[in-house]
Structure formats: structure tokens, C-alpha cells
Amino acid sequence: MSTVAVIDYGMGNLHSIAKALQHADTSVNVQISADAHVIQAADRVVFPGVGAMRDCMQALQALKLVDVIKNVAQDKPFLGICLGMQALLTDSEENGGIACLNLFPGHVRHFAEPLFDELDHSLKVPHMGWNRVRQKPHPLWQDIAQDSRFYFVHSYYAIPDSEQDSIASSAYPQPFTCALAKNNVFAVQFHPEKSQTVGLQLLQNFLRWDGAA
């Protein structure tokens, strides 16, 4: 039986993601864990997260998970979600500036305010709700229509140094990178576990992915 470890470092509610993975593929063994052995032994790893970056990095350090994550991200199919995507960049300007895992060179910035939409209403931060996702070719987008809407909730967004690392974009109102990919690592700013059929499809694609781009 194939196993997927959902990294539990105390940042947010992991039940949604575990339930969605199980629903996407009933044959997979989903393990929510902070144990390095469990994470290293899994076939695939999901790195979720909500909340503040300072707490995220402190929790990873306290649980000695920094090297574990860097290690499994070398070769296993790896999916970062929301804060778990942002933590993969070099640093974030949240909490006065926080060094992150640097798997994707680049920075995490706050949405500039004020923003306005086409009705000239001010745009709210967090960016919350269903927004279109413009894909670039990747196996994890299989059977998901171009410009499908996914559910977002975030106030910060990633700016990768290399355009090559960006595998999808959204707009609020300016375009921003909402998914990153490199080798066996894929990461998304939105919440596939809360994005109904398209989200479940993405999770199913991940659970069948061998990590090859």
C-alpha cells in the first residue's frame, strides 16, 4: 500500500487535507505525523500549513524537521500547500523578515494596499475565495481545465527568482505566482483540499505522480 505523510508541525488543521487525500484515493495510507522516521519512510510527503511564517519556522526548528523536509524534497513526490509553499522560498517579509527553507530561490511579499477591482471596490486582504489558476504544462494539472477556480486564503504571495519555477499564476489584481514546481517538488498557494472537484483531482494526480516533471 502506498503511503503519504502529512507533516504535522502544529500549524493549522490537518484533518481537511487528510480527509481529502483519503477521498481522492481510498487505497492510500494517509499518516499525519511529526516523526522523522514516518516522514522519511513515506512514498509521498505533503507539507501543509496556515498561520504566520515565524511560528512555522520556529515549529520546524523545534521539531528538528528542517533537514527532514530538505531531505525528502530531494527525491520523493512532495506537495507544499499554502504556508507550506511559502516556506519553500528563501525568505518572507512576514513578521519583520524570516529566513525560510530556500528550496526555491525567491521571496514572499505582502499584497500591496490599496488594491481596486473593476467595480472600483477596494480589494480585501486576505485574498480570500475562488480565483482562476492559469496553468503551465505539468503532470499534476492533468484533467483539470485551464483557468479552473481554486480556493485561496492568504495575505502573502511568492515571487520566485526564476520564472522557470513558476508553474501557475493567478491575479489579484496583478498576476502572481500561485504554484511552483521543480523536479519532484510541487507547491500551491491555494487549498486543493477545499477546492471541490478540481482540488480533489489535483490531489489524486499527486498521489499517482512519480515525481518526474
Annotated catalytic residues are 82, 191, 193
Closest by alpha carbon to 157, among 108, 199, 92?
108
Joined grid coordinates for residue 65: 524537521
Looking at beta carbons, which pairs linking 54-59 to residues 24 or more positions away fall under 8 Å? 54/94, 54/95, 54/98, 55/11, 56/9, 56/11, 56/83, 56/87, 57/87, 57/98, 57/99, 57/100, 59/9, 59/10, 59/11
Residue 127 as a binder of other proteins (CB under 8 A): the answer is yes
d(CA 52, CA 57) in angstroms, rounded, equals 9
Residue 113 as a binder of other proteins (CB under 8 A): the answer is yes
Residue 51 as a binder of other proteins (CB under 8 A): the answer is yes
- Which of 41, 62, 99, 123 binds other proteins (CB under 8 A)? It is 123
- Which of 90, 131, 135, 183 binds other proteins (CB under 8 A)? It is 131
Q: Smaller CB distance to other proteins: residue 98 or 185? A: 98
- Which of 54, 109, 132, 208 binds other proteins (CB under 8 A)? It is 132
Q: Smaller CB distance to other proteins: residue 67 or 117? A: 117
Residues found near other proteins in the complex (CB under 8 A): 12-13, 15-16, 19-20, 23, 50-52, 113, 117-119, 121-132, 149, 151-154, 170-173, 193-196, 199-200
